[in-house]
Amino acid sequence: MTTPRFDTLLLTGAAGALGTELRRALAPLTRTLRLNDREEIADLTDGEEAAICDLADEKAAMAMCEGVDAIVHFGGAPLEKPWDEVLNSSIRGSYHIYEGARRHGVKRVVYASSVHAIGFHAIESHIDATAPHRPDSLYGLSKCFVEDLSRLYWDKYGIESAMLRIFSSYPEPRDRRMLWSWLSFDDMTALVIAALTAPHVGHTIAFGSSDNPMKAFDNRLAGHLGWQPGDSSAPFREGIEARTDTPNPADKAVQNYGGWFCNLGHPDDEAN
């Protein structure tokens, strides 16, 4: 694309691992890429501008949505955290983003949801996007909340949203579960771009894993995004199997989408 499609995009969670990938990938799409995180971002390039604040800061979070065409919302607590952190950064923070979008007329939000929103469903059920929520953690619960929040903002306020249920986005697959759950960085960024640019999104829930040989879900309900993953865990399989033990078929972490999250204890217990 020669002319950028957007004037201003807002990217939250810009300092995270996926955010860093997205900075690179989104640059060609927009004149200005506004980067949000809690911490200072040192290496701003041309076309980037910083919007440093905690998403839990209502005024700041809403203010940075002004003048924005679309939001790529990847901020919030990464992985399982104590309740207070989940509540503030993910639940309250995401509410601020959606309210900011509503008040400032933002048209579309692309959100980093997660497999952990449906982590207690069995892999053998091969669910699609209509399956009920079954979070496996407070982390997953906060993703469920944002999925429902965004549904309200579409049904009532007409803000389009794509909920990308990121499975396991890492430089390469690390364990046998990632044989089906791995999402390469290139496929992840392509998915975000597809969701940003599709002619019609409405409210879409998409599952995000690469074109791995093992398929664990039914993604047809996101077909209108026009995303086709291009990477595969296949080249990594032999190495992974050499390094890791045979899974125990009776283990919840093996049977369910959420993997080891299903066996995690409560974060507030661990925090004590």
From the list 52, 218, 236, 260, which residue makes contact with a second copy (rule: CB under 8 A)? 218
CB 174 within 8 A of CB 243: no
Judge contact between 11 and 26, C-beta under 8 A: yes
By CB under 8 A, what part of segment 107-146 binds a second copy? 107, 120, 122-124, 126, 130-138, 140-141, 144-145
CA atoms within 13 A on the CB side of 43: 5
Catalytic residue ranges: 139
Give CA separation, 127 vs 10, 63, 120, 123, in Å.
31, 38, 11, 8
Out of 4, 38, 87, 260, the only residue in the binding site for a second copy (CB under 8 A) is 87
Nearest to 111 by CA among 68, 61, 145: 145
Instruction: Give the phi and the psi of residue 250 in degrees, each rounded to 5.
Output: -90, -5
Q: Which is nearer to a second copy, 17 or 253 (CB)?
A: 253
77 is an interface residue for a second copy by CB under 8 A:
no
Q: Does 254 bind a second copy (CB under 8 A)?
A: yes
Q: Which window, 12-20, 32-40, 162-170, 235-243, contacts a second copy (CB under 8 A)?
A: 235-243
Yes or no: say if 208 and 173 are a contact pair by the CB < 8 Å rule.
no
Q: Does 99 bind a second copy (CB under 8 A)?
A: yes
Residue 212 binds a second copy (CB under 8 A): yes
262 scored as a contact of a second copy (CB under 8 A): yes
The footprint of a second copy on residues 151-210 (CB under 8 A) is 151-152, 155-158, 160, 176-177, 179-180, 198-204
